[in-house]
Amino acid sequence: MRRRLANPPDPIGQATVAANRNRPRDWQLIRGEVLAILPHGPRSSRSVAELLPYGLGSALGDGEAVAVRVDVEDDYQSFQRPELERFERGRDFYVADGSGHALVRSSDASGRLHDRVELHLDGAFRTHRIDSTGARGARTAYLRALRVGQPVHLMGCLHVEPDLSGVGAGQGAYREAPVIAVFSGEQAPLHLYDDAAFHQLAAWHALPWYRKLSVLVRNR
């Protein structure tokens, strides 16, 4: 992975052509902008905001989200360890980088991420208070989201499918049906990074081994 991170992301169009010629590569890395176009199918019938528990959909703020990570933490109480809860929701979406488009299948029809999807979001977060109930005390939710119009790095294995949506029009060769690159968390590991998370990952892998060891020892 270190060698792959040392090189810039592949253009989506180039990765699509390579995969269409039966030369797919493991752990391809691309970077694109999340598009507002909805993929076809029942998975996109509900917004991510509608899938969040505790009424947190209204706390997402402006901009349509395609993936959300929520960390819920109990208020501090003396001599008690606060309970932590994390949940992630998302929907399928398209990305584009100017050279082509790709479809990202990250979640099932209920909005839960596939087991092989890893969501890495380290950008700015929003907070929301969850009022106490009879069973639980007051808590604070920390929400991070990947939104339409934002850049995303995708690392995983891609394949190509016929492009029935028209989003990838023009990527097929002469007399060939257009195809579109597909990253699917159903079939292989898939990592989604916002810019903040990816820059941290790349910086860590760029360190020599002795610097990494020094950091690990200091943080023990």
Residue 54 lies in a domain: yes
Residue 217 lies in a domain: no
Q: What is the DSSP string of 48-109?
A: TGGG-STTGGGGS-SS-EEEEEEEEEEPPBTTBPPPEEEEEEE--EEEE-SS-EEEEE-B-T
Residue 216 lies in a domain: no
Overall number of domains in the chain: 1
pLDDT digits 0-9 by tens, 112-142: 999 999 999 999 999 999 888 777 778 899 9
Rounded CA gap, 134 and 181, in Å? 49
| Confidence band, pLDDT 50/70/90 cuts, at residue 212 | confident
pLDDT digits 0-9 by tens, 44-97: 567 888 888 888 888 888 889 999 999 998 876 666 676 788 999 999 999 999
pTM: 0.85
Residue 214 lies in a domain: no
Residue 133 lies in a domain: yes
Q: Domain containing 109: what range?
A: 2-208
Is a pLDDT exceeding 60 seen at residue 24? no
Q: What is the DSSP string of 42-53?
A: GGGSS-TGGG-S
Residue 80 lies in a domain: yes
Average pLDDT over residues 197-214: 82
Residue 116 lies in a domain: yes
Residue 70 lies in a domain: yes
Q: Are 58 and 52 in contact (CB under 8 A)?
A: no
